[in-house]
Structure 1
C-alpha cells in the first residue's frame, strides 16, 4: 500500500522536528527573529533562491531579523508551525488544512498569490498512448509528496471523480517527493505518467528544462484554492498585520516586488481566509487522507 495515513505522515516528521529543537530553544530567547519555513515542493537550492530576497524584504518591513528554516518534508513544515518552532510557513492548501486540524484551528492563513485562487494541476506523460485520464489504467503513475495539494490530493480527487482508483487501477503508484522530481521521473521513463503543480510545469517549459516533443501535459484539472502564507494564531495581531501589509504591498512594477514576485511565480498577493480551503479539506476526507 503506497498511501500512508494522516497520523503516520506526522510520526515520520519526528526526526525532522528533533533537528529543529535547537531552533525552538533559541527562538524562546530571541523574540526579535521571525522564523520562516516552506513545504519542500522543489529542490533545496531552488527554495533557498526563492526565499533569499523575500526574507530580506520582510526583515526590512518588520524591523527584525528574518531567518529561513528549511525542513526535510511536508509533515515537518506542519509540525514546525503547529509547535511554534517557526512563525510563518508557506503551505499548500492541504498542508494548511493539516496544520489547521493538528492545531485545533490555531493557525491563520494571511495571504495567497492571486494565482492560488484558481490553481490547477497537470498530468504529464512521455507515452504517446496516454491521451486521457482513462488511458492511465494499468500504467505506472507518480504523484509528488503524499501531502502535496497540487501534486497528490487534488489530482487524486479528480481521478476518483473520473472513476479511477489509483491503488486498484494503476500498475504502480509512486511518490517522487517534489514537482520537479515528478517531471524528471516521467522524462526518464521511470514512470509512464505523473501529476504536478501547473506553475512548476509552465516554468520548466518556459525555461526549456523539459523536452515538450517527448513529454506533454495531456490533462489539466479544474481550478481550486491552493498555496498560502500561514502564521500561528498566537502571533501578536500587530505583527500579523505588518506581515500581511508587506506581502500586499509588493508590486511587479517596482523593486523589490519585481524580483520577489517573479521568483514566487506571482502577479501579486491577495488576502485569504480559512474557509477558502474547505473544499480541499472535503477532498482530503473523501480520499481517506485526513
Structure 2
C-alpha cells in the first residue's frame, strides 16, 4: 500500500509540474522580465547607453524589467530568440528571415526610417572596402572592378549578416555568373578567393582589413560610423576615404589613424527589432509597438542621437528619423537574394 501511495504521489507531482510548465510556455512574460538579445555589432561597451535607452523604453511601456543578452556570434543571437529564450531582438534582415524560418512566431516590430521619416528611404549601406595604398590593385582602366577580387584574401562578417554577407555575396555571384558560384563557394578559399575570413561582427571585419589580415572586406556604414570619419570624398560613395578616429573604442583602438577606401556601396533594407510572440504576450507586443513608433521615442536623444552630437548611438537624427512598423513581406527583397 505504501508503494502504491508513493507512486500516486509521484504521478500527482509530475502532473502539477507539467501543468505549471505548460502554463509558463503559453503565458509569456510571467516572470515580469523581458529578455532582449543583441548581435555582436551592438554588444560592445561603447553602445551600452544605447542599449539601455532602448531597454528603458520597453520597460516603461510594459512595466517589466528588461534584461540584455549580449553575444559574440550571430548564430547564438538568432538561436536565442528562435528557441524561446528571448522575447525581443535587434537583428539584420537576413537574421530575421533565418529566425522566422526557424520559428514562425518571430515577427518584426519596427525598423528605423530614413531622414524622410518613412520607409521610402529606410536603408543603410553595404560596403566593400580596400586599403587606400592598395586601391590601384582593384581598378581596371582607373575604375574599381569586381574582376580584381579573384585570388584575394576576403573578409565577411557572418554568413547570417545581411550587409556583411548576403548582399555582397549576391553581387559577387552575379558578377562572376560564368563561374556558377554559390554562397557556399564564397565561404571558403579556392573557387574565387585565396582565403576567406569572418570578422564575427562588422567591426571585426573592418579590423581584418585594417590590420592587414584581409585585402578586401565587407561591412556596413552604420556599424562603424562611431569609429571612423570621412577623410576625403562624400559619405557612402565609391572612392571615398575613411579614417579611424584617434579615440576610437575597441576593437578599433588597435588601428587608430588607419585609412580605407570604399570600392563598392550598395543600399540595404534597415534592420528590424523583432519579437517572439510565443513568449511575449499580445498585450505587451501591442504596448511595445505603440511606444516604438511614438513621437516621444522619435525625439529621445538617447535613441536617435543628434547628428552633431559627440555621443555615439545606434541611430542618428539628421531630419525626421523615427521608428515605423513593418510587415514580414517588406523583407522579401532580401529573401530573394538567397533564392
1:230 maps to which residue? 274
Deviation of the 1:204 alpha carbon: 2.8
1:180–1:72 CA distance, 2 compared to 1 (3 A): closer
Residue pairs, 1:1-290, within 5 angstroms = 30-42=30-42, 44-103=44-103, 105-115=104-114, 117-126=122-131, 127-128=134-135, 129-130=137-138, 131-163=144-176, 165=181, 166=186, 167=188, 168-206=191-229, 208=245, 209=248, 214-221=259-266, 223-234=267-278, 235-250=280-295, 254=299, 257-262=300-305, 263-266=313-316, 267-285=321-339
Q: Is the 8 A contact 1:42 1:179 kept in 2?
A: no
Cα distance in 2 for partners of 1:247, 1:274 equals 17
Unaligned runs of 5+ in 2: 1-23, 115-120, 139-143, 230-243, 249-254, 306-312
* Cα 1:30–1:265 shift into 2, 3 Å: same
Structure 1 Cα separation of the partners of residues 283 and 297 of structure 2: 26
Q: Following TM superposition, by how much is the alpha carbon of 1:279 offset from its aligned partner in structure 2, in angstroms?
A: 2.0
Question: Over the residues paired in the alignment, what is the CA RMSD in angstroms?
Answer: 2.6
Bigger helix share: 1
Structure with the greater alpha carbon radius of gyration:
2
More strand by share: 2
Deviation at 1:61, TM superposition (A): 2.2
TM-score if structure 2 supplies the norm length? 0.69
1:74/1:57 CA distance change after superposition, 3 Å: same
TM-score (norm 1): 0.79
Q: Number of aligned pairs? A: 257
| Per-residue deviation, 1:72 | 3.5
When residues 212 and 139 of structure 1 are mapped into structure 2, their CA distance, relative to the original with a 3 A threshold, is farther
Q: CA deviation at 1:251?
A: 5.3
